[in-house]
Amino acid sequence: MKKIILVVSLVAISVGLIGFTAFSEVQAENQSEIDKAINYLELQSSDPWITMGLIAGGKTDTDLNYLKTLSGSSATDYEKIILAITAAGENPRTFGDIDFVSQLESFYQNNQIGSTNYLNDDFWGILALVSAGEDSSSQIIQDSKNFILTNQNPDGGFPFGIGWGSDVDDTAAAIMALLESGTSSSDPVIIKAVDYLKSCQNSDGGFPYDPVSPWGTDSNASSDAWVISAIYKLGQNPSDWSKNGKNPIDNLKSLQISDGSFEKYWPFPSSTAYAVIALSQKFYPVGKYSVSIDSSGGGVRMYVINASASEHGLIFFSGMVRVGATSDEAFTISPDTGYHVEDVLVDGVSVGTVTSYTFNNIDADHTISVSFAVDPPQSAKKSGDINSDNIINEYDFAVLREDWGQPGLGLADLNHDGAINEYDFALLMFNWDK
């Protein structure tokens, strides 16, 4: 494939985009809802959340000029600006006249970001800094991570503020931030947070902001969207998070109204932006910008990884993923329930039935494609095959004789009446050698 090279007047700096995912075929099943939501968002006043939503939904020509003039008075002001800039593939340090990253870092105090009374600014601070190319091992990110970890509630959830009750939205944001800070998805902290989210799921498949709120516990679009994005970030499929046969995406779609917006307690544009990001199978940060030294002298070099998956499963990221030279890019593969990975092709060559793949030290364009196949049917166990060797013979009789007269012992209780007796012996003889 043809390399993409863009030359700019930088000295000894090479800037690459990592993880910026353009429109992908995997969005097709939600495309009608995404299109209507984008039409709605394009009529709204410009806002960083709206910008992220438009770009995640495929509007990569979104006007960014308004971001150049924005400023803020809090850490969260700069966090959302940075996330919008990096979603568009721009450098938040040099975009406009403000170094937005330095502005955010100025709010680092007492080993955390922003107010010591809140966790919300630490969640989004980590996500914003990582999106801007900061190494996850940096002191600010690791200190903020530790601040978050020490304030997880006993129920596994995370609150907006220190000492507050857990809520769904902030727990989803915390999961995404912790994963970006280097916490493993198998870490007990993440597992407890996921369990909290699952415990909050309503019977309609959706999520409330707070499952014990005296002001209402109905599912809402924002909470659905945050959870869906966190599920994708975990490398899971929202369709597997079902309750009463309904999953979070089903519920989120049901909350879209006629003008294309998504309703929370009342309709507002950012809720619709969150929904577009979730329905586009994206999470936070929507895009990443990395900075690395280029020994060849000033220039920007980017490569493209074209990632795709067949039906019945997902690959994260997907579509045309642009990455910086010498960087690494990891892909997670998740088959639907009842399916498995059939094959993974990297640059047309099979790498087997892996569920993850990482391109290391990237110096060329690549492709990765995944195919899925239905799981083989499980053969029905023969009635009387007590020892599970697929043969009914004297070995099964030996097990039955050993358990004779005992209360029901699983496979030996052939007629499921709670006891091992002559009725089980009769069934065994009837099926002998069959």
User: pLDDT tens for residues 324-365?
Assistant: 777 788 888 988 888 999 999 999 999 999 999 999 988 888
Residue 67 burial class via C-beta count within 10 angstroms: exposed 0-12, middle 13-18, buried 19 and up: buried
Structure tokens at 407: 């209360």
SS3 track for 353-378: CCCEEEECCCCCCEEEEEEEEECCCC
What 3-state DSSP class applies to 170? Answer: helix
User: What is the spatial distance between Cα 423 and Cα 265, in angstroms, rounded to a whole number?
Assistant: 61
**Angle at CA 190, nearest 5°, toward 188 and 195?**
90
204 and 261 in contact (C-beta within 8 Å)? no
- The stretches of 12-71 forming alpha helices (DSSP H) are 31-41, 48-56
Spell out the domain ranges in the chain. 21-279, 301-374, 380-434
User: What is the spatial distance between Cα 34 and Cα 261, in angstroms, rounded to a whole number?
Assistant: 10
Distances (CA, A) of 156 to 127, 152, 181: 21, 6, 18
- The stretches of 42-163 forming alpha helices (DSSP H) are 48-56, 75-87, 100-105, 120-131, 139-149
User: What is the spatial distance between Cα 142 and Cα 162, in angstroms, rounded to a whole number?
Assistant: 18
325 and 303 in contact (C-beta within 8 Å)? yes
| Strand partners of residue 188 | none
Nearest to 122 by CA among 163, 93, 161: 161
Q: What does the pLDDT read at residue 267?
A: 61
180 and 283 in contact (C-beta within 8 Å)? no
Q: Is 115 left (phi over 0), alpha (psi -120 to 50) or beta?
A: beta
Q: What does the pLDDT read at residue 378?
A: 66
16 and 288 in contact (C-beta within 8 Å)? no
Q: What does the pLDDT read at residue 164?
A: 96
Say how many C-beta atoms besides its own lie within 10 A of residue 430's C-beta: 12
What 3-state DSSP class applies to 252? Answer: helix
pLDDT tens for the chain, 434 residues long, are: 333 322 222 222 223 333 333 333 445 578 899 999 999 999 999 999 999 999 999 888 899 999 998 989 999 999 999 999 998 888 999 998 889 999 999 999 999 999 999 999 999 999 999 999 888 889 999 999 999 999 999 999 999 999 999 999 999 999 999 999 999 888 999 999 999 999 999 999 999 999 999 888 999 999 999 999 999 988 888 989 999 999 999 999 999 999 999 986 556 789 999 999 999 988 999 988 865 444 444 444 667 788 888 888 888 777 767 677 777 888 889 888 889 999 999 999 999 999 999 999 888 889 999 999 998 876 656 777 777 777 888 888 888 888 888 887 778 888 787 888 888 888 888 888 76
DSSP E strand boundaries for 197-326? 288-293, 300-309, 313-316, 319-324
Residue 37 burial class via C-beta count within 10 angstroms: exposed 0-12, middle 13-18, buried 19 and up: buried
Residues 6+ apart with CB under 8 A from 412: 386, 399, 400, 403, 420, 424
User: What is the spatial distance between Cα 407 and Cα 417, in angstroms, rounded to a whole number?
Assistant: 9
Cis (ω within 30 of 0) for the bond into 430?
no
pLDDT tens, residue by residue, 207-257: 999 999 988 899 999 999 999 999 998 888 898 999 999 999 999 999 999
Q: What does the pLDDT read at residue 414?
A: 80
Q: What does the pLDDT read at residue 317?
A: 72
CATH fold of 21-279, please? Glycosyltransferase (1.50.10)
User: What is the spatial distance between Cα 105 and Cα 86, in angstroms, rounded to a whole number?
Assistant: 16
First to last CA, the chain: 59
User: What is the spatial distance between Cα 201 and Cα 224, in angstroms, rounded to a whole number?
Assistant: 9
User: What is the spatial distance between Cα 351 and Cα 431, in angstroms, rounded to a whole number?
Assistant: 45
Q: What does the pLDDT read at residue 301?
A: 65
Say how many C-beta atoms besides its own lie within 10 A of residue 288's C-beta: 23
Distances (CA, A) of 387 to 17, 38, 403, 422, 427: 57, 59, 13, 18, 15
Q: What does the pLDDT read at residue 318?
A: 72
Residue 35 φ/ψ, nearest 5 degrees: -60, -45
Q: What does the pLDDT read at residue 38?
A: 96
The CATH number of 380-434, from 2.40.37.10, 1.10.1330.10, 1.10.10.10, 3.90.230.10, is 1.10.1330.10
Q: What does the pLDDT read at residue 323?
A: 75
Nearest to 308 by CA among 372, 382, 262: 372
